[in-house]
Structure 1
Amino acid sequence: MPLHVPPAPAPALRSVLTALGSPTAVREARTPSLRAAQGPARPETPLPLHELVHTAAPAAATKLTGWRFLIRSGERAVAAADTMLTPDGWAFSHFCEGPYITSTERALLHAEALPQAYQPRLLSVPELYMLTLWLHADCTTDGASGPLDPADVLVPLAPAPPGIAAHRPHRATDLLPVLTHRLTPAPLLTSPA
């Protein structure tokens, strides 16, 4: 089924288009693939970028931290552009490249083949250096809000933390306990007095 990609806020898209049109922004970006891109680069597939705030059941809390646009040149994504919310509204943050770009594209292609419709989002777990494709079951939301739902699917992107398989879809209710365990500090061992 096709994915229901939520529309990005217009100012976020404008800020990315402005950055792509700026030779200085592209030249100074730490993204060799964007600088070397042949032909026009265009932002596509806006994905709301959320951060996992806590993993406590039944509904893990997330917060919207930005929008990520895949930057295409020709037939493939060569980079991504992130935006962030500032006191003045949405603004361009930075360009990035690396394995998460290819991994995101791959996960999106696999998600399109699923029998159920989803709204794609990205979910970051900074403490684990982990990024997942979050397939939200409620396609009617704006992408900026909504907790993880038990019907949601999380697809860890490569590289995934040790012990978590990349590109393997998990129900949110199955993966969250694993993340909770990893995020919970181990008790301090005390020596007998």
Structure 2
Amino acid sequence: MPLLVPPAPSPALLSVLAALSSPTAVREARTPALRTAQGPLDAEHPLPVHLFVPATVPGGLPQARLTGWRFHIRAGAGVAAAGETVLTPDGWVFSRFSEGPFLASTERALRQADTLPNTYQPHLLSVPGLYMLALWLHCRPRADAATAQPDPSDLLVPLAPAPPGITSHRVHRLVDLAPVLSVRLAPPPLLGSPA
């Protein structure tokens, strides 16, 4: 079934479009594909980006905190880069252009999610402590993307490259993968006091 992509806040989209129309912002971007792109550039596939917050109680669900929106920047038939925004006290502002393996992996995961039998709302879930990004498929497709929180029926698709021991592009139930992530993020136990 198709994904139900949430609408991005207008100021977030406008900030990316303004950056795309700025020759300086595009020319100085550290994204070779964007600097050499031919034809018009357009922002599409808005995805809310959330920070993974481990569960505070054993067996509990993790939390998610909205940190930004990511747009795929289309140049002709392909995706050249991602445009990212962040929320500041003054509202949504353009953050940066980026490219790399997560860009193609996100495209692949979105196509993969489109083949699933249920409708989901796509988000990106960032786990910086593991250098991990996952496509988070929220089971409530009409939820407010800014306040959405993990649900036991949600799915996660780790993007490539995934941390060791986690298979990228494999669909995981959130309740199965979240505890693994939480354990890996936990500080090591204290080994006792020195003698």
After TM superposition, is the score higher than 0.5?
A: yes
CA RMSD of aligned residues (A): 1.3
Give the count of matched residue pairs.
193
Q: Which moved more, 1:25-34 or 1:48-57?
A: 48-57
Contact 1:119 1:137 in 2 (8 A): yes
Corresponding residue for residue 116 of structure 2: 114
- Deviation, structure 1 residue 59: 2.5
CA deviations 1:153-188 (Å, max 9, x no partner) are 000000001110000110000001111110112223
Q: 1:159 — aligned with what? A: 161
Alignment of 1:119-138 (within 5 A): 119-138=121-140
Alignment map for 1:45-124 (pairs within 5 Å): 45-56=45-56, 57-124=59-126
Q: Closer, same or farther in 2 for the Cα pair 1:191/1:93, shift >3 Å? A: closer
Q: Distance in 1 between matches of 2:182 and 2:15?
A: 36
The 8 Å contact of residues 49 and 67 in structure 1, kept in 2 or not, is answered as yes
Task: Provide Cα deviations, 1:7-33, integer angstroms capped at 9, x if missing partner.
Answer: 000010000000000000000010000
Deviation readout 1:50-92 (Å, 9 max, x if unpaired): 0012234433111000000011112221100000111111110
Q: Which runs of 5+ in 1 are unaligned?
A: none
CA distance in 2, matches of 1:187, 1:86: 36
- What corresponds to 1:17 in structure 2? 17
| Matched letter for residue 39 of structure 2 | G
Query: Using a 3 Å threshold, how does the CA distance of structure 1 residues 95 and 53 change in structure 2: closer, same or farther?
Result: same
Q: Counterpart of 1:168 in 2: which secondary structure?
A: coil
The whole-number CA distance in structure 1 between the counterparts of 2:26 and 2:55 is 37
Give identity over the alignment, percent: 63
User: Partner residue of 2:6?
Assistant: 6
Distance 1:186 1:134 in 2: 27
Structure 1: which amino acid aligns with 2:24? Answer: T
Aligned residue in 1 for 2:32: 32
Gap runs ≥5 in structure 2? none
The 3-state SS of whatever aligns with 2:82 is strand
CA distance in 1: counterparts of 2:54 and 2:46, whole angstroms: 25
Describe the SS at the equivalent of 1:67: strand
1:192 is displaced (CA, Å) by: 8.0
Do the aligned partners of residues 64 and 191 (structure 1) sit closer, same or farther apart at CA in structure 2, a change above 3 Å counting? closer
Q: In structure 2, how many angstroms separate the alpha carbons of the residues matched to 1:9 and 1:113?
A: 27
Q: Does the 8 Å contact 1:59/1:147 carry over to 2?
A: no
**Structure 2 residue matching 1:177: 3-state secondary structure:** helix
